[in-house]
Structure formats: C-alpha cells, structure tokens
Amino acid sequence: MIQSLLLEGLYKKYNISQLSFGAIHDKLGDVYEDFCVTILSDPSNLHNYQHGIDDNSFEFKIFSDLIDCCHIKDISKIKSIEATNHVPHRSTRGLSKTDVIMTVYYLDGGCQKIAISIKQSYAPKIAFAEFDVETICSEVGISDERLKALMLKHQVDKSAKYFTIEEKKELKDLLDPIKEKFVRWVITGSIEKNPHDVVYPTVLIKFKLKKPKDRYDIHIERGELSLLAYEVTSVEKYIETILYDKNGRSRKSGFGTGLAWTYATGSGGFKIQFKA
C-alpha cells in the first residue's frame, strides 16, 4: 500500500471510514481533489523541483509527474503555483469535466492556467459521461437521423442486446467519421482539440484504489490506505489509448469508439453512460 500522511489526514477529515459504502464514492472525489490542490499549492514541492531535490515523498512524485505532463519549458522562470477545485460550469450550464485548476505564475508577470481532471475508482473502467441521446447529439453535433435512432434504441433498450448484427455494424460505421470528437467530448465535454477554456481539462490523473472485500477494508489503520497506484497523462494521449490499441489499430469495442456503453442505476432507458 502507498504511504501518505497527507492522504491519511484527508481520509480522516472526510470521515471515509465512517461512511456507508454507497456514500463513499462522492466523498473520495473530494478527498483526491483536496489532495491534488494541496500538493500543487505547496511551495516546497516547487522549490524542490526547481532545485532538483527529490524528497522521496509520494506527494512530490505526483507533483513532478503533473508538472512534467504540462510540458512547461523553463521551470526556473516559475514564481509560484496555486491550485483550486472551484471550477465554473460549462456554457451549457453542465458540470465541467475539470476538477482542479492549476495556475502557474511566472517571474515576468505572466501566468498559465492548466485544467486537470481527477478520477478515482476501484473498477478498471471509470464513468466519464452520462447523458440522454438528445443532449449527446446536440453537444457533439450529430445530425444524422439514422445515427440518432440507433443511439436512442441503445438508450431505451439499455444495451445493444436487441440489435441485429447489421444494426451493430451500421452504428459503428456511422460513428466512425466522428469517433475522435465523440470520445473527446465524453472525456472533456468539448469536441474541440484546443478549446482554450479551463472548464475543459487537458491533463488527467487517475487513482487506482483497492477494491474492498467488505466495507471494513476502507478503514485507515497504521497509515495504510486503499490507494494502489496512479497515472498522470495528457487528455490527448488518453483519448488515443481509448481509440487505438498499442499497435495503432482502431479498437472494435463500443462500436469502434473504444468506450464502454452502459447506464447507471436509475438512469436505464433515459441516459447512456460512457466508461473508459
């Protein structure tokens, strides 16, 4: 297990060990947002990074990986870094896919804002979006009526179990020309590659948690947490791994999108949920 006094303190702050299993997920979102905000805002992490000092802490490793992923050219010109999880809504009034905004202040007076998406889960695939077909088509820009009809059939049936072989192929073929922007919208909330708005993330960090055998596995004892591993990547690179395998071949799953098409409890028949 990964050791982190900071993370241990946040688990205790949000009373994770006292929550019912069903209430844990949302609170863990708060925990890992606060975790990243604290790490990025800690001036000692920036100082150590600028001076090549590795303090061997888990927090510094995350800080370094996030800074490296942002491709900041001259670290010596950074004056300070701030971070917040207060993120505005999208122009559509929907929630932003950004969880933390990192602001880098430079010695010359300039600044750079970097939008970060934070995910944590026990499952190998994580839910990124859940919308009804009408909203999906409106935001992605889908006007093909046949494509809409097939997606609506999937929504109403709650899967493709009633699709014929021909219908599955037809849905895949109709999605093929737009699959990249479709996946980008699922992950970021925008079909644009460079939307230049902090409500659309450009960096993703995923925390892999231990799947509990029972609810007592989430108790914190002797500093042992349920965090097993993490991954920091650019959103663009993550989109590529969804769409293509390691040999560059298009994935066949999810009608060629590489996404898992499903639904959340209570939304079956009314919305489609996409996992990656």
Query: Measured between alpha carbons, how far is 177 from 99 in angstroms, rounded to an integer?
Result: 30
Residue among 200, 225, 196 nearest 128 (CA): 200
Residue 221 has pLDDT above 50, yes or no: no
Fold of 5-124+192-237: Trna Endonuclease; Chain: A, domain 1 (3.40.1350)
> Domain locations in the chain?
5-124+192-237, 127-185+248-275
Each residue of 179-214: b (16+ CB within 10 Å) or e?
A: bbbbbbbbbbbbbeeebebbbbbbbbbbbbbeeeee
For residue range 31-51, list pLDDT tens digits in order.
999 999 999 999 999 999 999
pLDDT reading at 275 higher than 50: yes
User: Does the predicted TM-score (pTM) go above 0.95?
Assistant: no
User: For the chain, how big is the Rg over CA atoms in Å?
Assistant: 20
Give the percent of the chain with pLDDT over 70.
93
User: Alpha carbon 54 to chain centroid distance?
Assistant: 27
- The pLDDT tens digits of the residues spanning 85-122 come to 999 998 876 789 999 999 999 999 999 999 999 999 88
Confidence of residue 223 (pLDDT cuts 50, 70, 90): very low
**What percentage of residues in the chain have a pLDDT greater than 90?**
76
Q: How far apart are the first and last CA of the chain?
A: 25
Categorize the per-residue pLDDT at 222 as very low, low, confident or very high, splitting at 50, 70 and 90: very low
